[in-house]
Amino acid sequence: MTPTRALLALSITALLGLTACTRQPSPDDSRPGAPVATAPDGETADEFIARVNREYKAMYPELTSAQWLSSTYISEDSQRLAAKANERYLGQLNRWIEQAKRYEGQQMSPETARAIRLLKLSTAMPPPKDPAKLTELTEIATRMEGMYGAGEVCTGEGAARTCKQLGDLEDVLRSSRDYNEQLGAWRGWHTISPPMRQDYTRFVELVNDGAQNLGFADAGEMWRSGYDMSPAEIAAETDRLWGQVKPLYEQLHCYTRTRLQAEYGADKGAAAGGMLPAHLLGNIWQQDWGNIWDILAPYPNAGSLDITTALDAQYQQAYAKQIAQAGAAVATPAVLVEAEQAAKLANAKQMTERAQDFYVSLGMPKLPESYWTKTQFIKPRDRDVVCHASAWDMNMEGDVRTKMCIKPNEEDFTTIYHELGHVYYYLAYNDKPPIFQQGAHDGFHEAIGDTIVLAMTPQYLQSIGLVGEQQQSNEALINAQMRMALAKVSFMPFGLMIDRWRWGVFDGSITPANYNKAWWDLKAKYQGVAPVDARGEQFFDAGAKYHVPGNTPYTRYFLSHVLQFQFYKALCDASGFKGPLYECSFYGNKEAGQKFQAMLSKGASQPWQQTLKELTGGEKMDASAVLEYFAPLQTWLTEQNEGRTCGWQASATPAASSVPAPAPAPAAAPPARSKPAAG
């Protein structure tokens, strides 16, 4: 996620803090950049935006610090401070937006008009005007994120009690091929979210209130307003783009079902209606199927692209080194635990240096020293943290960080490249006015690192010693394409369905009484995925996906999965590459790097269509580069699926059990107290 500035989109939940004390800012507040309570008389629109930019930048570090602490040290105290900082920021945002009304209908420069528009859209959590409601909203938001971060599944009693956190359950889906063990892990993680249901229901009411104050029909319409086109147009664009990719996804789905049935048997390998069983795809949310490579590999003997084994070997080496350094004291459990933690950290840094090296090879700068000292690379042992990966710009002037719980596996390795994409975007636009320090649109921000991931070809992986000598054969090509498709193509319908659900929740077409049914109906419709047994309204399965309690809009990831192929193609062209698209890596190419950097440095200072045109020559998002890239795989899949009945029956999702949704809390009830997540 990306604490994208103005967007503050992230669950970084648009926070900005003022000072630690609670005094109201006043016009004679002498702190540089302190917000003024009332706008000076006669202030022009240009002066107004210049002031907002100053005030925004001045209050930003306190907001990000509070949020950083609450994400890297989940406790009642850190959550209280994060909620308060958020509340102060959102209150200030409301005041700025109120002040901006003076300029409605007036002549002003296009740049200022754009800044005012962006200011109104600068949070994914539109704040209610009523101070009590604002307090309630920020408390709920912080609490839900804390509940997700501290989520764990415990079994047994007394001394036999053991607890598993998300990372442990993900390990089960990654490694176990035992049907019931995977089902247990999948179900286990989904027990963390029913307690969020009531909070989420209220959260929706509160952000809708905020969105309506800003003139939007609901929060979903506000989210859809950030694309330099109308909300209806961007919704139609996502349909159009999905229509381009859907035939490819359907082939991949069909092939995957056949392989799952070969592995688990005809009955267990498919769910109702020919859908894929939600717990068998190697990922809790079925958004990336790369972990079941062992089941899906087209040609297991055509050379290995298994980088997880290589990364694990690298970790083992780091561990052996730590043990050797510990010398004679080795035997005590405490020393072994320390050695393990030190080896994890050393290995995580090594993986991150590798990712940095790609960006540096394009001519981008090395990350600042403070990045290496302030980043959270691995999961600490002594406290709960939000492990979901994110990239942070703490102060708009170089204090950039990432927050992850890195493990030595392929998924985390590519996620580091993804996160550094955000970081390099931050650094590239840091000299723009703060309101323009965002992605051209949020899908651009998500696509930067992933564009680099597309350039991580088998040859690149070989050059950095993560895979061995590569065969030049059609089998090897299909393997490489499949590896990429399991990360990219399988993601696309997931990327779409999350906000189809939230748009419906925000506009009221999905009610709390139908939250779970609507969730699984959309999973069925877009992904062709189903749970193996009924998931009635006693569950809240949407809440088990980080971005729902974290309130991070998700359409950005769908758009990113289209855009990254357009960016990749443009950078391949810039590098002078002439072969088939899927063979291109622009590693080390300074021309490609310059073009990329030019785009990044624009931030949100102009409509994204213009920024896209400068990079690719075209002004539209378009999935034809996705199809061009995967052309060999699509042909191969079609051959493999010949004679099979493909597709699925979305209406076959197991009927919800008769347990109704929990009764909604009375509207006026105070928010439930935050359960201390730690400490």
Q: Which positions touch ligand X8Z (CB under 6 A)?
A: 1-2, 287, 389-390, 415, 418, 557
Question: Per the annotation, does 422 bind a ligand?
Answer: yes
Please name the residue that has the structure tokens 């088990």: 544
Residue 104, Cβ density class (10 Å: 0-12 exposed, 13-18 middle, ≥19 buried): exposed
CB of 561 to ligand X8Z, least distance (A): 8
Which is closer to ligand X8Z, CB of 389 or CB of 559? 389
CB of 557 to ligand X8Z, least distance (A): 4
Please name the residue that has the structure tokens 């080795």: 330
Strand partners, 164: 153
Q: Identify the active-site residue in 279, 445, 547, 561.
A: 547
Q: Under a CB-based contact definition with an 8 Å cutoff, are residues 273 and 650 in contact?
A: yes
Q: Identify the active-site residue in 419, 441, 445, 561.
A: 419
Q: In Å, what is the CA distance from 251 to each residue of 247, 560, 645?
A: 6, 22, 11
Partner interacting with residue 314 (select from ligand X8Z, Zn ion, none; CB below 5-8 Å by kind): none
Question: Per the annotation, does 89 bind a ligand?
Answer: no
Residue 579, Cβ density class (10 Å: 0-12 exposed, 13-18 middle, ≥19 buried): exposed
Which is closer to Zn ion, CB of 71 or CB of 78? 71
CB of 55 to ligand X8Z, least distance (A): 27
Partner interacting with residue 389 (select from Zn ion, ligand X8Z, none; CB below 5-8 Å by kind): ligand X8Z
Question: Per the annotation, does 190 bind a ligand?
Answer: no
Which is closer to ligand X8Z, CB of 200 or CB of 557? 557
Vertex 522 angle, CA 635 and 450, to 5°: 55
Q: Which residues have a Cβ under 8 Å from the Cβ of 589 and sit 6 or more positions away?
A: 361, 362, 571, 574, 575, 576
Q: What share of the chain is helix, strand, coil (3-state, %, to 5)?
A: 60, 5, 40
Which is closer to ligand X8Z, CB of 53 or CB of 283? 283
Partner interacting with residue 557 (select from ligand X8Z, Zn ion, none; CB below 5-8 Å by kind): ligand X8Z
Residue 325, Cβ density class (10 Å: 0-12 exposed, 13-18 middle, ≥19 buried): exposed
Strand partners, 392: 401
Q: Under a CB-based contact definition with an 8 Å cutoff, are residues 86 and 68 in contact?
A: no
Question: Per the annotation, does 139 bind a ligand?
Answer: no
Which is closer to Zn ion, CB of 114 or CB of 556? 556
User: Which residue's beta carbon is nearest to the bound Zn ion?
Assistant: 446
Binding span for Zn ion by CB under 5 A among 71-79, 315-323, 441-449, 582-590: 441-449
Euclidean distance between CA atoms 384 and 73, whole angstroms: 6
| 445 is a catalytic site residue | no
Which is closer to Zn ion, CB of 425 or CB of 519? 425
363 sits in which H/E element: none
Which is closer to ligand X8Z, CB of 234 or CB of 391? 391
Euclidean distance between CA atoms 569 and 629, whole angstroms: 9
Binding span for Zn ion by CB under 5 A among 93-101, 439-447, 599-607, 662-670: 439-447
Which is closer to ligand X8Z, CB of 322 or CB of 438? 438
Q: In Å, what is the CA distance from 390 to each residue of 86, 406, 675?
A: 18, 12, 24
CB of 446 to Zn ion, least distance (A): 5
| 419 is a catalytic site residue | yes
Name which of 602, 613, 616 is nearest 573 in CA terms: 616
Identity of the residue numbered 520: W
Euclidean distance between CA atoms 394 and 399, whole angstroms: 5
Residue 156, Cβ density class (10 Å: 0-12 exposed, 13-18 middle, ≥19 buried): exposed
Query: DSSP state, 2?
Result: -
Identity of the residue numbered 314: Q
Question: Per the annotation, does 418 bind a ligand?
Answer: yes
CB of 617 to Zn ion, least distance (A): 26
CB of 483 to ligand X8Z, least distance (A): 16
Q: Under a CB-based contact definition with an 8 Å cutoff, are residues 124 and 7 in contact?
A: yes
Euclidean distance between CA atoms 48 and 588, whole angstroms: 44
Binding mask 446-475 for Zn ion (x = CB under 5 A): x-----------------------------
Vertex 165 angle, CA 164 and 166, to 5°: 125
CB of 423 to ligand X8Z, least distance (A): 12
CB of 638 to ligand X8Z, least distance (A): 27
Partner interacting with residue 13 (select from ligand X8Z, Zn ion, none; CB below 5-8 Å by kind): none
Q: Any idea which residues carry the catalytic annotation?
A: 419, 547
Which spans of this chain sit near Zn ion (rule: CB under 5 A)?
A: 446
